[in-house]
Amino acid sequence: METMTLKLRVWRQPKPDSEGKLVEYTARNVSPDMSFLELLDVVNDEIIKRGDDPIAFDSDCREGICGSCSLVVGGVAHGPQSATTVCQLFMRHFSDGDTITVEPWRAGAFPVVKDLVVDRSSFDRIQAAGGYVSIDAGSAVDANEHLIPKEAADLAMDAATCIGCGACVAACKNASASLFVGAKVTQFSLLPQGQPERDRRVLAMVEQMEKEGFGPCSNEGECEAVCPKEISVSHIQTLHREYLRASARRIFGAA
C-alpha cells in the first residue's frame, strides 16, 4: 500500500494562561486509510518515544457522533471534507508532501485548556438554561397517543441531529452560537412535549448564550458550511421567531 509523508504544524499551548505557538512535526508512512485522529496518535507515539509531552486533543466515539474531535484542519473547522467530523476525515483526502496546520477552535467562549483542547462547557450551560420538559412521560404509550405531523417530526429530527461540536462557532467571524442554539430551540418548539416551557426555554437559552460571550449572527452561512451534520441556517430563523414571540408574550401577556 502506498504511504504518504506529511508535515504538520500543530498548535502547542501547555496551559490556558501561557503563550502558544505552532510546532512542526513530520509524519511518515501515513496510510491513506488512516483517520486524522489516528494520524495524531501515530505522531504522539513518536513524541512519547522521544520523552516529550504528547499533543493533547479531544476524542471519544471516533464515529462522527459525539462531536468532541474539535479541530481546525487547514483553516477549516473539521477539515476540508464537508459533512465530516475530524475523526471521520481520512488521510486519502490529502496528498503526499502536504503541509497541514492543526489548531483548536478559536473563540473567546471556548478558551484553550491545552494544545488542541478547548473548554466547551459554555454549550452545556446554555442547554442547562433551557431546562427540562415538565410533561410526565410515564410509561411508554402507543405511538399514536401524541399525534405529530410528519413534516414537524422530520424538521425536529433534523434539528436534533446537532452534536454540539462547536464548529459553527469556530467558523463564524463573530463566534456566534446561533446555529447551535437555533437547533436546540427548534427541536422542542415543533413537538407537543416542548410546548409548556416553549417561551421560557428560548428566553433563557438566548440570555445564557449572550452571557457566555458568543457574538451575534451576521447571516453569512459559514456555520452551515462546516457543520458535520449539515444543520440548516433556517433554524436560526426559527430561533429569532421564537425569541420575538416569547418576548412579545412576556411584555404583553399570552394571547
Q: For 26, which DSSP code? A: E
Do residues 6 and 27 lie in contact, with contact meaning Cβ atoms separated by under 8 Å? yes
**H/E stretch holding 186:** helix 178-189
Which residues neighbour 49 within 8 Å (Cβ) at sequence distance 6 or greater?
none
The per-residue pLDDT for 252 is 85
Q: What is the pLDDT of residues 182-203, one digit of tens each?
A: 999 999 999 888 999 999 999 9
Residue extent(s) of CATH 3.10.20.30 domains in the chain: 4-113
Q: Is the pLDDT of residue 141 over 80?
A: no
Mean pLDDT over each residue of the chain, to the nearest integer: 94
Q: What CATH superfamily classification does 120-252 receive?
A: Alpha-helical ferredoxin (1.10.1060.10)
Q: What is the pLDDT of residues 102-132, one digit of tens each?
A: 999 999 999 999 999 999 999 999 999 999 8
More confident residue, 72 or 134: 72
Out of 3.10.20.30, 3.90.550.10, 2.60.40.3120, 3.90.1150.10, which CATH number does the structure's domain 4-113 have?
A: 3.10.20.30
Pairing of strands 99-103, 4-12: parallel
Do residues 201 and 194 lie in contact, with contact meaning Cβ atoms separated by under 8 Å? yes
The per-residue pLDDT for 24 is 98
Torsion-angle region of 65 (φ positive above 0: left; ψ -120 to 50: alpha; else: beta): alpha
The per-residue pLDDT for 137 is 62
Q: Is the pLDDT of residue 145 over 80?
A: no
Which residues neighbour 109 within 8 Å (Cβ) at sequence distance 6 or greater?
122, 169, 175, 177, 212, 213, 214
Q: What is the pLDDT of residues 47-100, one digit of tens each?
A: 999 999 999 999 999 999 999 999 999 999 999 999 999 999 999 999 999 999
Q: In this structure, which amino acid lies at residue 108?
A: G
**Residue 182 grid coordinates:** 437555533
Average pLDDT of span 149-174: 95
Which residues neighbour 150 within 8 Å (Cβ) at sequence distance 6 or greater?
none
